Amino acid sequence: MKKIAAITNNLDLTNLPINNPIGANNPPLLNPHADKVAIDIPTQHELQLVDFAVNWGDRLTNTQLDKLVHEGWIVIDDVFEIKALLALQAESGFIDYRDAQLTDGIRVTDIRGDKIRWITKDIFAGFYYLDSINQLAAVLNRALFAGIRHSEAHYACYPVGFGYQWHSDNPVGRDERVISAVFYLNDDWLADDGGALEVVDNHGEHHNVMPAANRLIIFDSNLKHQVQIAHRQRYSIATWMRRDGLVPFVESAN
Ligand SMILES: O=C(O)CCC(=O)C(=O)O
Ligand SMILES: [Fe+2]
């Protein structure tokens, strides 16, 4: 119980991105390695769906699919081309976030400290991301008869000192979420930065996954997992592939 108090009390102390807009003292997460790695992208580029194309069929090898079925989770690294990654990183830096306080009417401030923004059509890069995830869902349906009918996703920002305590992504008595996927946006994440996603696999083994840029973790939504306390602001896109049809989206009021 002590731990929960520490997490909520921190709310007042933390510099949230909404209080701390992008500017000289808070640069966006854009290409910090420009001096080390030559990245050939135009400075102005109209983002297109094709920038988010991934050959999911190739990325999900039979070994990966077996692991997903037997252990319940897999990681894919270097998911997108640089244009898409930079666009998602930039978008994660300038959208407005809200407290992720209510889930199905239940106040969950005590267990999660993230700020979120659901991805809708007007969130351009995120919407292309979601389209790509739907292609991934189609591959999972073909290969595993996963029965996914639509996907939803939100950007999340965990301020310093926050995490998300043990949970599974289906509330008790519900099973609409089939597969969870989290895409990470953080350059140069080190073990000392905390914020690992700790997942308990189908055999009860714990695995720590670092929220490193361009990494996607895919796991059975019923697996227990937690986000360890982050010591650096931590950006991600939490994504769910669902078995129910498209439902109108209701964002909580606060
Ligand atoms: O950001 C992560 O690594 C996981 C987030 C999560 O578990 C959730 O949003 O349900
Ligand atoms: Fe989760």
The answer to whether residue 72 is domain-embedded is yes
Compute the residue count for the chain. 254
Mean pLDDT of 193-202: 97
Largest CA-CA distance found in the chain, in angstroms, rounded: 51
241 CB neighbour count, 10 Å cutoff: 26
Residue 248 lies in a domain: no
SS (H, E, C) 94-125: HCCCEECCEECCEECCCCECCEEEECCCCCHH
* 85: pLDDT strictly greater than 90: yes
The DSSP letter of residue 51 is: G
- Across the range 217-224, mean pLDDT stands at 97
Nearest CA to ligand 1 atom 10: 169
Atom of ligand 1 nearest to the CA of 158: 1
- 46 vs 92 pLDDT, higher one: 92
Query: Is there a domain that residue 10 lies in?
Result: yes
Residue 7, in any domain of the structure: yes
- pLDDT above 50 for 191: yes
Q: What is the sign, positive or negative, of the torsion defined by CA atoms of 133, 97, 191, 34?
A: positive
Residue 38 CA, ligand 1 centroid: distance in Å:
32
Overall number of domains in the chain: 1
Return the percentage of the chain with pLDDT > 90, whole number: 63
Q: Residues 116, 119, 120, CA angle at the centre, nearest 5°?
A: 135
Residue of the CA atom closest to atom 3 of ligand 1: 197
Is the pLDDT confidence value at 41 over 90? no
- Identify the weakest region by mean pLDDT among 44-58, 65-79, 109-123, 168-182: 109-123
pLDDT at 18 exceeding the cut of 50? no
Q: Does residue 13 or residue 132 have the better pLDDT?
A: 132
Ligand 1 touching residue 92 (CB < 6 A): no
Nearest-atom number in ligand 1 for the CA of 180 is: 10
Give the pLDDT of residue 35: 53
The answer to whether position 140 is within a domain reads yes
Instruction: Quickly state the pLDDT bin for 110 (edges 50, 70, 90).
Output: low
Give the pLDDT score at 212.
97
253 found inside a domain: no
Sign of the four-CA dihedral 188, 234, 230, 212 = negative
Task: Collect residues with CB below 5 Å from ion ligand 2.
Answer: 169
Q: Report which ligand 1 atom has the smallest distance to the Cα of 225.
A: 7
Is 249 within the bounds of a domain? no
Q: Whose CA is nearest to atom 5 of ligand 1?
A: 238
The answer as to whether 210 is a domain residue is yes
Assess: ipTM above 0.95.
yes
H or E element in which residue 4 lies: helix 2-9
Please choose from 73, 164, 209 the residue to mutate so as to test ligand 1's pocket, defined by most ligand atoms within 8 A of CB: 164
Q: So what's the pLDDT on residue 232?
A: 93
Instruction: Provide the domain limits for residue 193.
Output: 2-242
pLDDT above 70 coverage of the chain, percent: 74
Token representation of residue 164: 């998300």
Give the residue whose CA is nearest to atom 6 of ligand 1: 238
Q: What's 57's domain CATH number?
A: 2.60.120.620
Name the residue of 227, 234, 235, 240 whose CB sits within 8 Å of the most ligand 1 atoms, as the mutation to test its pocket.
Answer: 227
Check residue 251 and give its pLDDT: 44
Q: Does the beta carbon of 116 sit less than 6 angstroms from any atom of ligand 1? A: no
pLDDT score recorded for residue 1: 35
